[in-house]
């Protein structure tokens, strides 16, 4: 079952289209990263999914329910961190969580459970005013975990955190499906973080989802490239061309696609036999950032071609 399913979601602000047909399928048990540049419409989508905003057109189902028609039952079953939560500095962590328990009609016994999940049991009676930003963010996530929701929706949960804080939140999110038996939908533009924590990614570009993938499948599909730092570049490129190998030149070397490990030694021997000086031969595994940039470039080229 998909825990989130949207079809052709559309939204405009003051006549300006922001979402232009968002299709999402978020599988159960996923840590699903929702990526996109600033202003691409991530928060708008999340506000629709959490019932804070109504779409102009299209359909959004959350946990199998229509978010417009069944808003309250949906909200009772999800945990959401959309805007900075009201964390009153004079309250202790436990007092703050007790408010979430009352709002969700959940036993106060859940407080210690969620504090354990975010590893903040020791800070139970400390005032929030004394917390670091990272601790506040962990407490905010603990609030979303009250009542053990089946789905968490988190909008940029690592915003403003230092590297240690980011790592803590990332580890926490990564472990949530197993520890809490839930799915996580998380927006971010920190691609390194996402690459380490997500099982699935979707890329929103100008209000449309232009790609969504299982991260493992994506990694398998990405082709590793060989970088040859060598001299001279032009004649080496011609030599490669004669071997039916196309290369791309950059400042100090050539990039080659479509080679396997077994091709490397004969290739280097051939080049050396033709007096090419080889300083370095290095495989490059594409990153999520390479995928992100590649997908956006393709989308831009396609829209220019249609214009
Ligand atoms: N209430 C609003 N009224 C008018 N325009 C808005 C409103 N909220 C958002 N927008 C505009 O809609 C576009 C998409 O905004 P949104 O916040 O959904 O993007 P985002 O992908 O979450 O961006 P970011 O990564 O910067 O948070 C932006 O151009 C933004 O200025």
CATH number at residue 266: 3.30.70
Q: What is the Å distance from ligand 1's center to 203 Cα?
A: 16
Taking the whole predicted model, whether its pTM rises above 0.90 is answered as no
Q: What is the mean pLDDT of residues 55-72?
A: 95
Q: In the prediction, which pLDDT does 187 show? A: 94
Q: What is the Å distance from ligand 1's center to 41 Cα?
A: 6
- pLDDT higher than 90, residue 294: no
Instruction: Please count the residues of the chain.
Output: 307
* Six token digits for residue 233: 């570049």
- For the four alpha carbons of 142, 145, 41 and 34, in that order, the dihedral sign comes to positive
Q: What is the Å distance from ligand 1's center to 100 Cα?
A: 28
Residue-number span of the structural domain to which 267 is assigned:
223-284
Q: In the prediction, which pLDDT does 9 show? A: 96
Closest to 211 measured CA to CA, from 57, 70, 22, 66: 22
> In the structure, what pLDDT confidence band is assigned to residue 46 with cuts at 50, 70 and 90?
very high
In a domain, 243, yes or no: yes
- Tens-digit pLDDT profile for residues 79-90: 999 877 778 899
Quick one: DSSP state of residue 224?
P
35 lines ligand 1 (CB under 6 A): no
State yes or no: ipTM above 0.85: yes
Closest to 186 measured CA to CA, from 64, 10, 11, 4: 4
36 lines ligand 1 (CB under 6 A): yes
In a domain, 307, yes or no: no
> In the structure, what pLDDT confidence band is assigned to residue 306 with cuts at 50, 70 and 90?
confident
Mean pLDDT, rounded, of the chain:
92
Same domain, 272 and 147: no
Rounded distance between C-alpha atoms, residue 104 and residue 145, angstroms: 11
Same domain, 256 and 116: no
Q: What is the Å distance from ligand 1's center to 211 Cα?
A: 20
- For the four alpha carbons of 260, 263, 267 and 269, in that order, the dihedral sign comes to positive
Same domain, 147 and 262: no
- Tens-digit pLDDT profile for residues 136-165: 989 999 999 999 999 999 999 888 788 888
Ligand 1 nearest-atom number relative to CA 45 = 18
Same domain, 177 and 248: no
Closest to 186 measured CA to CA, from 104, 114, 82: 82
CB burial of residue 113 (10 Å; 0-12, 13-18, 19+): middle
Ligand 1 nearest-atom number relative to CA 14 = 4
- Tens-digit pLDDT profile for residues 88-132: 899 999 999 999 999 889 999 999 999 998 889 999 999 999 998
- Tens-digit pLDDT profile for residues 168-220: 889 989 999 998 889 999 999 889 889 999 999 999 999 999 999 999 999 88
Ligand 1 nearest-atom number relative to CA 43 = 22
């Amino acid at each position: 079952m998909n825990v989130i399913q949207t079809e052709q979601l559309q939204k405009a602000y003051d006549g300006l289209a922001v979402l232009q047909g968002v299709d999402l399928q978020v599988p159960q048990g996923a840590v699903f990263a929702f990526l996109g540049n600033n202003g691409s419409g991530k928060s708008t989508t999340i506000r629709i999914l959490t019932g804070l905003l109504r779409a102009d057109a299209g359909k959004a189902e959350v946990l199998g329910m229509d978010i417009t028609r069944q808003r309250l039952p949906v909200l009772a079953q999800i945990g959401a961190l959309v805007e900075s939560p009201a964390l009153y500095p004079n309250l202790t962590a436990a007092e703050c969580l007790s408010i979430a328990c009352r709002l969700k009609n959940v036993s106060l016994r859940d407080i210690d459970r969620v504090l354990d999940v975010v590893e903040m049991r020791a800070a139970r009676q400390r005032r929030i005013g004394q917390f670091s930003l990272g601790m506040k963010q962990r407490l905010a996530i603990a609030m979303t975990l009250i009542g053990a929701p089946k789905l968490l929706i988190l909008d940029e949960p690592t915003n403003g955190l230092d590297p240690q804080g980011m790592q803590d939140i990332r580890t926490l999110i990564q472990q949530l499906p197993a520890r809490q038996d839930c799915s996580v939908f998380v927006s971010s533009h920190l691609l390194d973080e996402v690459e380490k924590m997500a099982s699935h990614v979707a890329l929103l570009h100008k209000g449309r989802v232009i790609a969504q993938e299982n991260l493992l499948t994506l990694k398998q599909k990405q082709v590793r490239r060989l970088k040859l730092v060598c001299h001279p570049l032009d004649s080496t490129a011609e030599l490669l061309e004669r071997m039916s190998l196309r290369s791309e030149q950059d400042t100090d070397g050539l990039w080659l696609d479509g080679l396997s490990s077994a091709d490397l030694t004969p290739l280097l021997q051939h080049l050396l036999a033709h007096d090419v000086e080889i300083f370095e031969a290095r495989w490059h595994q594409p990153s999520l950032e390479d995928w992100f940039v590649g997908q956006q470039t393709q989308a831009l080229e396609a829209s220019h071609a249609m214009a």
